[in-house]
């Protein structure tokens, strides 16, 4: 029971921290009109601008990896056709808006994906202690992709595919 309270308190603290850090960052509100995969989707803003969004701090399974479809379906169920808020951190080299995404008034899409074992905390780009705690908990409880002892993170999977294509 104490672990649940600790995770709950960490979630509230992290949410407040994310919201306070995003004050100086760009916030965009819009309707989700397409789901590309577990960590990428398209958003239509009020002024009819279509933007591509990449979830910050996590990485979901790639198209041919186990749990790809489940991650994509989770995102679709959570946000498709809904109005969401993007707390934009930056634009990446593909001109996607790398963002923390808030839906249903207070839920973090990145947190929910990691909590449900459908994404990895992308430690190379993130020091988010709550995401790490959520991943550790999902891994310990063998939730989602953590049912596989040898789950390969997407960044390693992409590197392996690049190496194989060069051979």
Say which of 54, 112, 115, 135 is annotated catalytic.
54
Per the CB < 8 A criterion, the answer to whether 78 and 109 are in contact is yes
Say which of 26, 62, 95, 135 is annotated catalytic.
62
Is 95 annotated as catalytic?
Answer: no
Is 54 annotated as catalytic?
Answer: yes
Q: Rounded to whole angstroms, how far apart are CA atoms 36 and 8?
A: 30
Q: How far is CA 124 from CA 1, 54, 134, in A?
A: 32, 16, 17
What number of H helices and E strands is found in the chain?
5, 8
Q: Rounded to whole angstroms, how far apart are CA atoms 114 and 132?
A: 9
Is 62 annotated as catalytic?
Answer: yes
Q: Rounded to whole angstroms, how far apart are CA atoms 68 and 101?
A: 19
Say which of 96, 112, 115, 135 is annotated catalytic.
96
CA proximity to 116, closest of 74, 73, 152, 157? 74
Q: How far is CA 135 from CA 22, 24, 33, 64, 88, in A?
A: 23, 28, 28, 22, 23
Residues forming the active site: 54, 62, 96
């Amino acid at each position: 029971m104490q672990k649940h309270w600790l995770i709950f308190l960490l979630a509230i603290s992290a949410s407040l921290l994310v919201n306070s850090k995003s004050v100086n960052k760009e916030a965009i509100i819009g309707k989700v009109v397409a789901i590309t995969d577990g960590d990428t989707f398209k958003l239509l803003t009020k002024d009819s601008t279509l933007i591509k969004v990449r979830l910050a701090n996590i990485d979901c399974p790639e198209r041919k990896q186990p749990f790809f479809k489940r991650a994509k379906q989770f995102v679709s169920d959570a946000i498709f056709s809904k109005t969401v808020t993007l707390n934009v951190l930056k634009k990446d080299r593909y001109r996607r808006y790398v963002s923390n995404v808030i839906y249903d008034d207070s839920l973090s899409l990145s947190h929910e994906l990691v909590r449900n074992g459908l994404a990895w905390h992308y430690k190379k780009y993130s020091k988010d202690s709550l995401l790490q705690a959520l991943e550790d908990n999902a891994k310990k409880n063998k939730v989602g992709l953590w049912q596989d002892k040898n789950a390969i993170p997407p960044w390693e999977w992409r590197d392996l595919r690049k190496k194989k294509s060069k051979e």
